[in-house]
Structure 1
Amino acid sequence: MSLSTSTLVVVQQYLTRYGMTTYDILGNIGSIFNLLIFSQSSHRCNPCSLYIFSMSLCSAIGLNSAVIPLIYALDHPNPLSYSIPFCKSQYYFRHVFSQSMRTFFVVACVDRYASCSNRVFIRSFSRHQIAIRVIPLVIIFWILLGLFPTMLYTISNGVCDAQDGLPNILYSAYIMIVLGILPLVTLFTFGVLMMINLKESRANAQTLGNRKIVSIIRKRDRNMMRMLLTELTIYIITTIPNTVVLIYKVATPPAANGSERQCIESFVFYFARVFLLYLNNSLSFWIYLITSQSFRHEFKKLLFHLFSFVEHKKPQATIVH
């Protein structure tokens, strides 16, 4: 093994041990705060809040099922390299819940568009009753569809991945559709439609001459656009490399075992298909915290309530006479 390939192995181990451990911890903390914030009574009747709550729950499950086995394998035998049942089940859980998370993000964007539409029919899709029906349907859909790519997975040369040949081609096409094309097209489309609707609403408010309404709409406009565009940008950054790698893997013949090219490809595949891809699972809370002033206000209120609750539960000191 050359110096460059051995360096890549060490870099991959450091990325897993410190990088993935860090964003797994931050992702779990963020998911817990999201669940606490969006489960409050003020959010329970808001369909978008219900989608974000579901997204955060699925995000945590998908993140942990993907990352924890890799961190564990740094200092222990890796069951993904020899146990086909573990290989398939680990892939199934991380795929089902990570895809559910991405779908809830798309649905939340659709809900944001519907809620600010000028058409009554479109606004009717932004309802609590709709969200209650959509959420279990999304999870059931991915539980069933997730069986297809799981059947294509096996262990080859100690690597848990789609089988070479036709299974790999089918898997790559499937991932490019469900992870790349459909979410990106949907997010872009409804993002543009939402900006148009908000622009029309602001124009209507200005026509009425109500400065207070204009100020509220401008503030909401900024907050929503920051959150949406930041999430969309990060989604593109973390998923496009995975699509490119899959195309490359299908289009090029496999490298010889132990060759320098195989080591480089292995590192690139790891970085694009694991490190970057599941980094996205850990970021929603931190994106909201950075980009939305109203969310920061909600977070401060939550911390105050938690602090008050802890203080209230502390045992009172016994007064000695």
Structure 2
Amino acid sequence: MLSASSFSSTTADAILIASWSRMSTNINCYFSIFLFIFGVIGNILNILVLSQRSLRSNPCSWLFLISSLANFIALLSGLTTRIISNWTSDLTDTVAWLCKLRIFTLYSSRTIAAWLIMLASFDRWLLSCRSARRRQLSSIKRAQRGTLIVILFSLFIYSPLFYCYEANLSNAPLRCYSKTILCRIFADQVYTCITIVFPLILMFLFGFMTMSNVRKLKYRLQSPLLPRLSIATCPSDKRQRFRRLDRHLLIMLLVQISFLALFTLPQAIQQIYSTITIDQPRTTVTDTIESSIYAFGILLTYLASGMPFYIYTLSGGCVFRQAFFALIERTKKTIFCQQK
């Protein structure tokens, strides 16, 4: 028979497990719905605004555009099944090929989005350099070429997930997860390093280098967005518009990098911890708490995928907001003409 102290401890553990499970379920249900609406609307608006002629010809805007498309795919592939699972069974937990396809699409699209933002920070650094040769490296063709390389690299690096991931697992944080310890270490650390840590390090590096260059070259006589043209050859209003666009794009980029670090590093830290402690024994309480923290860390990454439009609207100055309002005006005119 159990002693009074053992029975009391078991009861306390059961209450704690039930509380954590209930809290995790509620957060997963309602926060997922909020993130889906918040992120999908934001990324759709981002795609529409950045597709406008006044912005899409800029290399940095092009990278923002494709990054928003990748974030949109990440939200659809990651949150749709998570929301549906609150009311019915999640097919990605039980059907192997859906499990593999979902995680491959999710990880690849997140990697594409992160590395395109890194390329945007690299592009801002090029445009801030004193050397005209470096500034000339910033072009829409090179941005498109870099986008293609990032997409192919992301698809290649995560192709092993089709082998590693399996459905109906019981001894893992999620039912759709890596099936062996080796696969788990590979998937977690590749995701942590390739999708989160490495691009963030490069983003901050190029961001600090860009700010340093801007301070040093504040009064240079060359427009950063027109590296082949002397500023004297540009009309005054056009010159001011280019400078304003360049400045606001840099601010948008730096703010986005900061929020990316805030919302993605918790999952990276948790996955590193899981890898280090993979062989350590765990109690039921520990498993429940760690699974809840893991699930919340994943939700934060969806917040990172859904926030760019709101960051651009708040920190992009009049350039992005004017493009957004122009989109609204054109939409109103189109609707009005159709009604007539």
Q: Secondary structure at the match of 1:159?
A: coil
CA distance in 1, matches of 2:180, 2:132: 51
Give runs of aligned pairs for residues 1-321 of structure 1, distance below 5 A: 2-155=14-167, 156-157=169-170, 159-204=175-220, 223-252=248-277, 253=279, 259-272=284-297, 274-293=298-317, 294-315=319-340
CA distance in 2, matches of 1:113, 1:159: 43
CA distance in 1, matches of 2:196, 2:18: 32
Q: Offset of 1:30 from its aligned partner?
A: 1.3
Q: Offset of 1:255 from its aligned partner?
A: 5.2
Q: Offset of 1:7 from its aligned partner?
A: 2.3
**More off after superposition, 42-51 vs 56-65:** 42-51
Q: Offset of 1:63 from its aligned partner?
A: 1.0
Aligned AA (2:150): V
TM-score w.r.t. the length of structure 1 is 0.87
Runs of 4+ aligned residues of structure 1 deviating over 4 Å after TM superposition are 212-222, 254-257
Aligned AA (2:42): G
- The answer to whether the 8 Å contact 1:62/1:98 transfers is yes
Q: Secondary structure at the match of 2:49?
A: helix
Identical residues among aligned pairs (%): 23
Change (3 A) 1:270 1:255: farther
Q: Secondary structure at the match of 2:166?
A: strand
Q: Offset of 1:218 from its aligned partner?
A: 8.8
Q: Secondary structure at the match of 1:42?
A: helix
Change (3 A) 1:164 1:85: same
May I ask how many residue pairs the two structures share in their alignment? 308
CA distance in 2, matches of 1:193, 1:217: 21
Change (3 A) 1:201 1:215: farther
Q: Offset of 1:163 from its aligned partner?
A: 3.0
TM-score w.r.t. the length of structure 2 is 0.83
Q: Offset of 1:95 from its aligned partner?
A: 0.9
Which segments of 5 or more consecutive residues in structure 1 lack a partner in the other structure?
316-321
- The answer to whether the 8 Å contact 1:179/1:239 transfers is no
Q: Secondary structure at the match of 1:235?
A: helix
CA distance in 1, matches of 2:102, 2:274: 22
Render the CA deviation track for 1:240-294: whole Å, top value 9, x for unaligned. Answer: 111211122122236557x11111111011111x211121110000111111212
Change (3 A) 1:256 1:198: closer
**More off after superposition, 150-159 vs 127-136:** 150-159
- The answer to whether the 8 Å contact 2:50/2:62 transfers is yes
Give me the CA root mean square deviation: 2.5
Q: Offset of 1:125 from its aligned partner?
A: 2.0
CA distance in 1, matches of 2:204, 2:282: 41
CA distance in 2, matches of 1:36, 1:112: 22
CA distance in 1, matches of 2:240, 2:334: 35
Which segments of 5 or more consecutive residues in structure 2 lack a partner in the other structure?
1-12, 222-231
Aligned AA (1:11): M
Change (3 A) 1:57 1:218: closer
- The answer to whether the 8 Å contact 1:230/1:287 transfers is yes
Aligned AA (1:198): V
- The answer to whether the 8 Å contact 2:67/2:114 transfers is yes
Q: Offset of 1:195 from its aligned partner?
A: 0.5
Q: Offset of 1:203 from its aligned partner?
A: 4.0
Change (3 A) 1:69 1:311: same
Q: Offset of 1:217 from its aligned partner?
A: 9.4
Render the CA deviation track for 1:74-129: whole Å, top value 9, x for unaligned. Answer: 11112232222111111011111111111111111111211232212211221012
